[in-house]
Amino acid sequence: MEKFKYYKQLVGAIILAGIMVIVALRIGDIANAIDAVLSAFVPLILGACMAFVLDILVVRYERWLWPKTKFGWRYKIRRPLSIILSFVTISLIVYFIARMAVPQLIHSMSIIVSAAPQLYADFQVWIQHITEAIPFASNQTIMDTLNGESFVKYTREWGTKGGSYIVDTMGSVLSWTLNIGLGLIFAVYMLLDKERLILQGKRMLKAYASDVWVERTTYVGNVAVKTFSNFFVGQFIDALILGVMVGVTLWLFNIEYATTIACVIGLTGLIPLLGIYIGGVMGAVMLLTVNPMDALLYVVILEVLHQIESNVIYPKVVGNSIGLPGLWVFAAVIVGASLMGVIGMLVGVPLVATCYKLLMADVEARLASNEGL
């Protein structure tokens, strides 16, 4: 019997080694298969994320629309009407910001592009003055790099690469547009059947898991939902306050495009920590086409307001709601941006905050248990 057990372990080890060899030899095909499967689930993942964000508004509209009604036509139309109002609210916000910011950004970029030849000519004159005033600045390698022929050569190379990049980007945009459209449909179905989905999930947990695992899973889910909801609501309020502060201050200093820049700052402020810098650069580009001194004053004003926002407003509005120290917020933004770009910035902070809360609760429970011993 012991001998049979030994041979059984040996056969198992040989089979496992064979599987590992096959995986190593066909790792490319396996990776492609996994990527294809994940790509097929992208619309569903997007839909679930959009349903979660929309549900924040849907819940609040349902509290306003006949909250005590439990039957009848009002009860039947309350959920669909709340979903429609949520879509309308988000669409109006996006339209208002796009209406204010996009035309001015395009106008500013067109001014910069049209002024580029004159700027380059002025740059060449400035370089010539520098080389005449400072002898070691007239290095031949530097001059060859900055001359007109080299500039044209680099521009052509960038243009060639840019053409292929634009084609790839258009393909990605079309693909993501389709995925977002399918995700929106899936999100609507999820919101309409929210209670049924939650009930089915609980029944499946009770059927296939122990009571301890059901309790733990429910606790983790409640913490995650509460943290993510508080984060998105707090981040939106913080971005709105920052946008209003920037708009009012720029208006008081009589700086051009105050309303447009406020909209841009409010939109990019939804991105934790880094959003204000992205919006700040866009606002500076607008003002550089009007008055460079206004752009400089704007940078100073924005930095002052940013310090007030990050040290006074953000900790009270967002920090307290998610319970995550500033160090881990910064780490979550950096890692999330590296992994998933802007989406990673938005998801990284509440995800880390959820893990942080669960870890701290477990640490406290273990320490209390040890102290009791």
pLDDT band at 119; cut points 50, 70, 90: low
- Looking at per-residue pLDDT, the higher value among 38 and 133 belongs to 38
What pLDDT, on the 0 to 100 scale, is given for residue 373?
47
| Average confidence (pLDDT) over 257-270 | 82
- Looking at per-residue pLDDT, the higher value among 193 and 37 belongs to 193
Q: Which two tokens stand for residue 213?
A: 């695992």
Count the helices and strands in the chain (H runs, E runs): 13, 0
Q: Which range (9-13, 60-64, 146-150, 152-156) has the least confidence?
A: 146-150
Q: How far is CA 175 from CA 168, 171, 282, 344, in A?
A: 11, 6, 27, 19
pLDDT band at 77; cut points 50, 70, 90: confident
Amino acid identity for residue 193 in this structure: D
**Maximum mean pLDDT: which of 28-42, 105-119, 167-181, 276-290:** 276-290
107: which residues sit within 8 A by CB, 6+ positions away? 289
CB-side exposure of 357: number of CA atoms within 13 Å?
Answer: 21
- Looking at per-residue pLDDT, the higher value among 205 and 85 belongs to 85
Q: 343 with 176: CB under 8 angstroms?
A: no
pLDDT band at 226; cut points 50, 70, 90: confident
Other Cβ atoms less than 10 A from the Cβ of 68: the count is: 6
| Cα 100–chain centre separation | 22
pLDDT band at 320; cut points 50, 70, 90: low
What pLDDT, on the 0 to 100 scale, is given for residue 115?
60
User: Does position 3 have pLDDT exceeding 60, yes or no?
Assistant: no
- Looking at per-residue pLDDT, the higher value among 9 and 291 belongs to 291
The DSSP output letter for 147 is S
